[in-house]
Every structure is written in C-alpha cells, then in structure tokens.
Structure 1
C-alpha cells in the first residue's frame, strides 16, 4: 500500500459519501457522549431504540442524574451490560455537573477522566461533536485497516497512530466514519463483499471474495 493508493481510496469514499457521520442518533454533544457510552459491545440500532425513549425525557446531565441508576436502567435495559453502563453514565453526569458546568469538555484528558469513557469513546466525541481529526478504532476499522493494507497494526492504538500518519490530511476528519461504514456493510468479517467494494482494485487483501 502506497500513498497514491491511500489517496485514491479516500477520494472514492468521499465521492460516494461526501458527508459521513455516525449512525447513532443525537442532537447535542451530551447526547452523543451518552449514546457512544451505551454503544460499547452493542449495536447502534439497539442504542438508538433506547435513546429514542430516553432523550425526550432526559437529555441533560441534570435530568439523567435525577433519574438515578434504577430510573436510567428502565430505559436502557434492552442494551447489553446495562447495569454497569447505568452506573457509569450517572457517575459521568455528576462529574459533568460538578466539574464542567454540565458541558461536555472538548478535551481528551477531561473526557477520558469520565467514568465509562475510554480512548475510543473520547475519539468519537472529539471527532463527531467537535470536528477533531481523531481516529476511533473499533473492530471494523481495525479489520479494514489491516485487511486492506491502509494501516497495519497489532493493536488498536498502533492502527490509530498509523491511520493518523497515513491518511491524507484533507480526509482525516471524515476518515473514521468512512472506514466504520465500509467495515460494517462491505468489508465484513467473515465474507467480505469484494464484488460490491469501491476500492477492491486498490486493496492488498490476498483472498478477495470476487
């Protein structure tokens, strides 16, 4: 994989989808933070179903904190790991109220200090809510990056660093959305849909499913 191929890959992604975004539904940085926290080891579809009921009732740190863990669980009990997620979201709301004037901080260190917020969640919030050129490497991006040869790495942090280095700057803000969508719908885990792939001629994958 060389820089010319990488440029063409992202050029095609942009041409096909000029304004990509997360499939999580949100109307504020706080709603996004909650949705991403809930999405760990769960589908975006399941999170959207839960937040469609939760957010009309409570969509601020104060309102969700007022629900308490038990009240919040009633809205998110269809999502995996909902007990621990409820505990983390309530604790994060308390920190946002006490330390950040109920605003989601536009700062990695402050985000990662919130309960339930790791590097990947912080990257999603920084990118999607605040427009930072970050790379939230999930299983889809890890697979696509290694399989295609765009950025090979043994772990998510290594892949993240290589993507930030190799992806042309003009594509960085949107790159993680394109890669997630590509991994979710085309470059799937078991049987990649190479015949429907925009970049199959540029990809390094040896076992193409054509």
Structure 2
C-alpha cells in the first residue's frame, strides 16, 4: 500500500510484460479504480491490517482533516470472501517503526484451498554482526486458519523459543459442525428404524409361538 499526491492506491504484483523487468519476471501494476479508496482525500498513510482477525487483510488509511493539524482514520473492510486457508505468524519483530512506517507485527501466509496441516514452518530473527549461528526455529504440523504467536526468547537460543497456537473460528467450522450433526442424526434415524423393525419382527415371532402353543394344547 502506497500513497502519492495525497491519494492512496494499490500495487498488484503481476507477471512482467515489458523489457525493463524481464530479469526479475515480476512487476507492479497500479490500481486506481477503487471507489471506496478514492473517496478518501488527502491520504497521508495507508496500510493493511486484519481488523476482524479472520485472516483477510483490511485497509486503514490516515488522512488530513480540515486543517493540517487534524487527522482522521478510515477503515475499509475487505469484502473478498473465499474458501481459502491461512496461517498468521506473530513474532513481534519490525524492521522499521519510525517515519510513518505502519508495518504489521505479523505475517499472513496464504495456503490456498489446501486444508492440510502445514508440515514445516520456520521462524527466524536477525543475528548480530560477527555471529555465525543462525537464529531460526522450526515448528511442524500447524493447523490451518490459526494464529501462531512466537516468543523468541532467549534470542540466541532458538531451541528455547516457545509458541502458542490459537485457532480462528470461521464459517467452515460452523458448516463442518452442521454436517457432523446431520450425519449423526441420519445414523440415529437408521438405527431407530432398524431397531423398530427388529422389535416388530420379535413381536410377530412371539405371537406365532403363542398361537402354536395354544393350538398344540387344544
């Protein structure tokens, strides 16, 4: 997210289509046609932020007010809905915190439509000059649609780093619960019908036995 001439805009990462970026194969495309974003005038800073903690990045824009000393904060909800999975990693490490740098204290990793566990997740922090060992730790079997909070302490002992995993509820969880309840009700209905048929057959057999005994007694 960038701002230019007090107008915020988006940059889309697309495949390269000219000679200037042939070596890197990627380029940025400026997207101006965003009605909600264009309505915010005199933008100063714009950034992404997960407001609803659902793995979808929303937009926060800081703009000037009626005077240069007044500022206003605008939030734009991302209405993009998709059955995609994600993992949010929070390590509390920012490369820059001054000069209007609104960097996120976490990284959102998109997993696409694969609901499988994340096999390997590596988290690392910068090391001081002269140190040869790599400050990196690995976690395995991470559940999709979750938040992993990493506590990198002590900094020079990655084996002692701890992590806390928090699940993010979504509509998929609700649909899964409804489907599970529906399957259980269906199985119970089948069991009830079979039990009723078996009981009915037993009653018929008992009546036949009683009738046979009465006939033999006569």
Query: How high is the TM-score relative to the length of structure 2?
Result: 0.21
Name the larger-Rg structure: 2
Q: Could you say which structure has the greater relative contact order, defined with CA pairs below 8 angstroms and 6 or more residues apart?
A: 1
**Higher fraction of helix:** 1
